[in-house]
Structures are given as structure tokens and as C-alpha cells.
Structure 1
Amino acid sequence: MPQHAKGPRLYRRKDTGIYIIRDTGRGDQSTGTRDCREAETALARYLAERDRPRGPATPDQMTVSEVLVIYGTERAPKVKDPQRIAYAIQALVPFWGELPVSAIRDATVGHYTTARNRAPGTIRKELGVLKAALRYCADKGYLVNPPTVELPEKPEAKDRWLTRSEFARLLWAAWRNPKAKHLARFMLVAAYTGSRKSVILNLRFMPNTYGGWVDTDRGILHRRGEGQAETKKRTPKAPIPRQLLAHLRRWERNGARYVVEIEGNRVGSIKTAWKTATDAADFNDVTPHTLRHTAITWAMQHGAKPADVCSYFGLSLETLQRVYWHHHPDFQESVLRAMEAKL
């Protein structure tokens, strides 16, 4: 009995560990990576390019991976933050990849949400990319009558922030761990500047095109690299508080190249160190982004002007009013005075 072709599949070479794509009758094709998720993305791209229809396709003639590959290769390079699209596609492909577009229904979206097992906000962002990819393929004539992707409700903004004593406890948990000194540096920068994790991990002590840098002579934080375009997550320049500036100058004198580094090398992830520190401090409800909430909350509690807060942290006035305004000492003060006044 003749054997059935196995179809396109991934195979990991034993000698190099690099994944290759095997497709009966077409020869092997290297993915160029040892990372399983990157290899799966490469396989999805291969399938989309191999089977892409020549004319407009109906939802049952086109796979979701084809839609995502078209969007990722044609649209993503033209946006200001292509990494956001890339991360979403990497998350979407394992579940949706080989399914036809016609399989996108409320039920399968629900199955994806369960299988993904991530925060509602994360699921909403990923499905938002899928929705945008379908719309793009329809607009460009690749796809006709795409289904609608119903996004989950936008979650309420988190109001978790750390008190001074809580922050000190978490900072001490990081500092006393010999393998997490870099996390203590990250925490200090985050608490004093409210910068996002990705910004802090890319900070250097000299101008560059990859990420931001700190000017310790003038005391200015540059959150973006030279020539980098601004995105929706604004990254404005800001003065560095004197307490943090003293630390930064000391680190620079000691030969540091990156603000957060291990043995002279940039730190790409703080996931493990963060988990260790939060476990030691007995905090199971805080994330690195909590430090941004903390910095903004402290600024509001100390009476900073709303316009200055928005400018310093790269925050919209709408977000400040919705999430942080109640922390300000002037919150509804005029109404309170009016209600307490004698008639």
C-alpha cells in the first residue's frame, strides 16, 4: 500500500538543533532558528506563501496563517511598532494557523481564549491584530467577505500600586539575591521615571539607534534611540530625579554600558528574577508594569500638575483623569468645598 504524504512539517536537525521545514517533493528548507515558536511562525509563512491563492479567495479557500503572513509582511513593516504585530502573530499562529478563515466564529474565539490562558487585555490585543489582518486582506483584494472578530470587553484599568514601604520590601528582596542585582537597578529606574519595561531594558549610557540613553551630564532621560519614530506608547524626554541621577552616575563611573546589565551585557528579560523577588516579598499581584503605575500615583499624591504628569510620563490626559486623578490632593476639592459651605 502506498504511503500518504505527510505534508509540510518541522524537523529539528540533530547536529545543529536548527529547525527545517520538510515538504514531500519540495526539498528541505531551513527556518534559520532553534526556537520552536519562531520555527512555527516560519512554517506558517511557508504554508501561506506556498498555498496563497492567485485571486481573491473566499473564507473557506484561505487559511488564517495566510492572512497573518500577508499582514505581517506587507503591513507590519510600515507601522511605527512592528514588534507588537509580530508578538501577536507568534501567539495566534499555533492555534489558528492551519484553520480556514471560515473557522473564525464566536465559538472558536472562545476556544482560543481558553487555550491561550492569558490576561483579557492580552487576548484583546492579539485578536485585534487578527481583526486588522482580515480587514487588510479584504481591502487589498486577497479575501472576500471576511468574518467579523468580536473582541473581548476592554478590561478595567488596574489601580494596583506600591506604597513606599512595599516598594522598599520588593527592592530589598531583589538586592539581597546575588543573581538579581540587575533587577534592583531596573526597579529604581522604573520607580523614579515611570518608564515602561522595554524602554528601561534598552537604555544605554550613550546615544544609539537601538534604544534610549541617559545623559548623566545634563540629567536628561532620552527614552527613544536616535532616529526612532514615536509610537502610541509615547516616550518623551524627561529630567532625571536627583536620587536616581546619583545612582546612574555611579554605575557609569564603574564602567556600565547599559543601565540594566549583567557582566556588561544587556538584560533581555527580567521574568525569572522578578518572579523570585515577588515570591520572596510575598507579592503575587504585581508585575513590572505595576512600577509605572506606582511612579505616576506617587507623583499625583504629591500634588504634581496634571499637565506636567502627562508630559513627563508620556500619558494622555484622558488616561490620567480615568486612572490616576483620584490620587491627587485636589481631586474634587472644589465640589467638596461647595457642599460643605454654609447656605
Structure 2
Amino acid sequence: MTFVQSELRRGGLSAAAAFPQVVDGEKPDHFNLFQRKSGIYVIRNHSVYVKSCKTRDKQKAEDAFMLFGMQTEARQEGIFDPRRTLCTDIMDYHVSQISGDATHALKNDTERLGRLRPHIEGMKLGALTGKVFAAIERRMRRTYAASVVHASRKAMRTAIRTWCNDHSAPLVLPFGPGKEPDGRDRVLEGFERDRVRRWSTGTENYDPETDTWSPGGPLSCIERNRREMVYRVLTLGLPTGTRGGKFAKMAWKRTAKFGHIDVGTGIMHRCSPGTKAPALKAAPAVLLSPVLLKEVRGWAERDAAARERYVFRRHDGEPAGDWLSDTFCQAMRDLGIEDVVVHTLRHTCITALIEQGVSASVISAIVGISVQSLRTRYNHSDSAAVQPLGHVHMDAVLTRH
């Protein structure tokens, strides 16, 4: 059995497609086989060298040339080997296929894949194994929070699915989904909350190794803003259970696409009032408690005096975006508080409300979580609140005639 015949048995055109020239854009229209003076056969395009057959055996060279020529047919049939595709090409294709009116998804995936791009530039998909991706994530963790790195992993897997599906290619996912970063199911303890408050509202620094505080001196405007934003995330996130992404571009006045806080009515709109119903249901507007509203109005007054437009912002006044999550996670590490992300505040809020006996329907209205999710994930329902209504009837059963 010749080389070509064995390859055809193993995969036919798919084997031809695996040759790099298909992916790299070669068009084998005018190729020919040529034997050099050394006896080695090479493939040329007209008279231009393309590749060596690495053999002096004419039969083997002809087999290699025949398989090489089959790439034209493989291209016409749309047969590709995703493992030989550049990772950056897969990224770019995925972004190009996002609907033009899905601006939020476009921005999110562009940012998430953009963080990953410098680490996989020039790399083909087949080389992006689980071990390699784990090493890339370790490097990315020097700059980004674990939750941000994990989001990039998920975005890349989605991009691969898009590329393979649209090219009728077999799905190749060389690395797994990974583990959700710690902290999503973690409860922030009271002493940890108080540590964050003390650090974020003063000039003191905390040393987790010695469990001691020391004067930090005057803060730069950048550091002062960082601590203020961490304090605001904690103060608004803990009692309302708001997802961190809703804070990213929250403003003091109504905007077309993002949430805002109306200090006049005391309502925090987690989404723009014109948002579609499903999103509003997942992030409903919430009436702030009197104590919380008093705190937030103080922020609004200071921000109005400084002409600041956003509740959460970078030191240059621009909306916080993903910087907020990175900053919060870094602050937790600085304070020796392990495995805490912004989502930890949401989980802590839900857990605390359940422990205080708040009904599932009230928690759902405050936090923006379905009663079904509370029942399945937190094992919480309105049974404890509803069942007492039937006590008189339960007792009547004993005396029933």
C-alpha cells in the first residue's frame, strides 16, 4: 500500500486538508514535481520552490505530490483541520460574526479575547493544550483577577465552537472549561468586611502576615480613588446582592444602556429602564434602605461637587468597567482575604437574608434571582412563611367530625 493510499484510508480529503498549505492560504493550481541535482524531489509553483518531498524515491515523491494536490479539492469542499488554524484567526472570525446590534456582547468578547491574544500570538489551535493554557493563565494572573482570566478561557472556547461550526469542521477543544474561580460560593465573614471598611475609609495599611495595622501616610489620588471604589462596591454589593457587572458603568443620571442611581427617589436602577424584560427581571431596580440611601446621597453630593458622572470610576473619571473587578480582587489579596471576588458579595447577601428568615419572594425582588434558583441552589423557599397560615386548619383536623 502506497503512502497516498494509506492516508486516504485514514481520512481522505481531511488528511489532505491537514497539510499546512490549505490553512496558510496556498493555492495549489500550478504545482509541479521537480528533481534537483541532489536527487531530492521538491514541489514548485511554476519555477518557484514551495516545499521539499524529502525523498529521492520517485514513487514516494509522487505520492506526496498527489496528496498535496488534493488540497485544492479539500478547499473546494470546505474541509479544514481546525488544529492547524491560527488561534488569532479563530478569535478574529468569532468577533466578526457577532451581530452588529449586540454591542455589549461584542465589547465583552473583544476585551476578553484581547487579554488572551498576546499570549497565543502565532500559535495554532492544536498547540493550545490544557497544559499550555494553564501556563498562560498563570502568566495572566499576574495582571488580571482569576474571574477575568476564566472569562477569557470561556470566550476562547466559544470562539472555537463558532469557527468549527461555520467551517463545517470537527469540533476541536484542546483545553477544558476550567474550574470556576474560588469565591463565587464563599461567604464574606463579618471580621473580613470590617477589615475592608477600615482599610478603604482610612490611610492605614494592613499586614496579613502579622495581623497588624500601620499608618500609611497621605494617599495619592489614584490610591484614594481605588479605596473609595472598593468601599462603594462593598457598601452597595453586600446589602443588595448586585452582580459586579452592573456596577461597571453605573452613573448618577439616567443613560441609554446602563444603570444609574436616582438619589431623589432612592432607587438603584441596575439596568436602563428601557432594557428588555428578561434583563430587568434578572437585575430589577431596587429601593435602597434608609440607612444605605443616606450613605449613597453623601457620595452623590461629593461627586456632584467634583463633576463626576459615574458612581464607579477610574481615577481619570472614566467608567470603571472590568477594572473594578480587578481592583476589588487585588485589594482582597492585599488584605489577606483569600478567594473573594465581587460575586462573593452577592452570595453573602443571599445567604445572610436566608439566615434572617426573609422569604424567597422578597429575596428574589431585592437581589434579582428566581425563586426556583433559590429553591434548587440554596434550598430555600417560602414554605416557612406560608405554612403557619395553615396551622389553624391543621389543628382542626384533630377535632373534625
Please classify the TM superposition score into its range, dividing by the shorter chain length: 0.5 to 0.7
**Partner of residue 80, structure 2:** 58
Q: Equivalents in 2 of 1:182, 1:322: separation in Å?
A: 33
Q: Does 1:260 align with 2:312?
A: yes
Unaligned stretches of 5+ in structure 2?
Answer: 1-74, 204-218, 389-401
Percent identical among aligned pairs is 19
> What's the CA shift for 1:272?
4.7
**Partner of residue 194, structure 2:** 168
Counterpart of 1:183, as a letter, is: V
Q: Choose the corresponding residue for 1:147, options 164, 172, 177.
A: 172
Q: Structure 1 residues 291, 96: CA separation in 2 closer, same or farther (over 3 Å shift)? A: same
**Partner of residue 241, structure 1:** 289
Contact 1:157 1:323 in 2 (8 A): no
Contact 2:360 2:380 in 1 (8 A): no
Q: How does 1:1-343 map to 2 (within 5 A)?
A: 56=78, 58-59=80-81, 62-75=85-98, 77=100, 79=102, 81-103=105-127, 108-117=129-138, 125-140=151-166, 142=167, 144-149=169-174, 151-152=176-177, 155=180, 158-177=184-203, 178=219, 179=224, 180-225=227-272, 227-228=274-275, 234-254=282-302, 255=304, 257-261=309-313, 265-266=317-318, 268=320, 269-270=323-324, 271-272=326-327, 275-276=330-331, 279-280=334-335, 282-317=336-371, 319-325=373-379
Q: Any idea what SS the aligned residue of 1:221 has?
A: strand
Q: Equivalents in 1 of 2:120, 2:95: separation in Å?
A: 15
Q: Equivalents in 2 of 1:169, 1:62: separation in Å?
A: 49
Q: Structure 1 residues 95, 327: CA separation in 2 closer, same or farther (over 3 Å shift)? A: farther
Q: Any idea what SS the aligned residue of 2:342 has?
A: coil
- Could you report, residue by residue, the CA deviation over 1:104-131 in whole angstroms, capped at 9, with x for unpaired residues? 5xxx123212331268876665444333
> Mean alpha-carbon deviation: is it higher for 306-315 or for 204-213?
306-315
> Mean alpha-carbon deviation: is it higher for 145-154 or for 85-94?
145-154
Q: Equivalents in 2 of 1:122, 1:260: separation in Å?
A: 18
> What's the CA shift for 1:223?
0.7
- Could you report, residue by residue, the CA deviation over 1:118-168 in whole angstroms, capped at 9, with x for unpaired residues? 68876665444333323323433x353342455346548743212344322
Q: Structure 1 residues 253, 174: CA separation in 2 closer, same or farther (over 3 Å shift)? A: closer
> What's the CA shift for 1:213?
0.6
- Give the alignment's Cα RMSD to 1 decimal: 3.9
Query: TM-score, normalising length from structure 1?
Result: 0.65
Counterpart of 1:69, as a letter, is: D
Contact 1:300 1:328 in 2 (8 A): no
- Could you report, residue by residue, the CA deviation over 1:273-294 in whole angstroms, capped at 9, with x for unpaired residues? 76346634x4233233322222
Unaligned stretches of 5+ in structure 1?
Answer: 1-52, 335-343
Greater per-residue helix proportion? 2
Counterpart of 1:257, as a letter, is: R
